[in-house]
Amino acid sequence: MESDLTLLIIIFFAFALTVFLIIRKLIINSKMTPEEKVKVKKVKAEKKAAIEADRIKSHETYLRSIEQQSVINNYGNIYPEIICPHCQKKGYVHVKQVTNKKGVSGGKATAALLTGGISLLATGLSRKEQGSQAHCDNCSMTWSF
């Protein structure tokens, strides 16, 4: 069978290549002085350690960026010029514009009664108030102004 023969040849070459690589490595190893062997081992270990350190560093950077992003999402961007009124540190304060929904004001409810609800359609019952919320990363205080 021709296909069996092809398979056998492929297996034979793969085997031959593996043996060749092993022998080559053995020859290179035997030619190296013990000092060179130690050096190669050291370089390998250093490479491994560098890769590991890189991995840890990039993971830490990733975690920090996620943490920062969630803080920015929650409290807005950092304004480097603002000094925290609680801990007096500069560069830790986030500021975010917030809308506080206030309930129905007495005046509006009365006006609604008098005009038969027309003014309610125009202005709505609840009043929205724009404000700013600040948060300090250093002392973890959150306040409005």
Please, which residue, 119 or 133, has the CB nearer to Zn ion? 133
The CB-of-136 to Zn ion minimum distance in angstroms stands at 3
User: What's the full length of the chain, in residues?
Assistant: 145
Please, which residue, 100 or 140, has the CB nearer to Zn ion? 140
The CB-of-44 to Zn ion minimum distance in angstroms stands at 48
Residue ranges binding Zn ion (CB under 5 A): 84, 86-87, 136, 138-139
The CB-of-137 to Zn ion minimum distance in angstroms stands at 8
The CB-of-93 to Zn ion minimum distance in angstroms stands at 7
Please, which residue, 78 or 84, has the CB nearer to Zn ion? 84
Three-class DSSP labels, the chain: CHHHHHHHHHHHHHHHHHHHHHHHHHHHHHHCCHHHHHHHHHHHHHHHHHHHHHHHHHHHHHHHHHHHHHHHHHHCEECCCCECCCCCCECCEEEEEEEEEEEECHHHHHHHHHHCCHHHHHHCCEEEEEEEEEEECCCCCEEEC
Please, which residue, 78 or 136, has the CB nearer to Zn ion? 136
The CB-of-81 to Zn ion minimum distance in angstroms stands at 14
Please, which residue, 39 or 90, has the CB nearer to Zn ion? 90
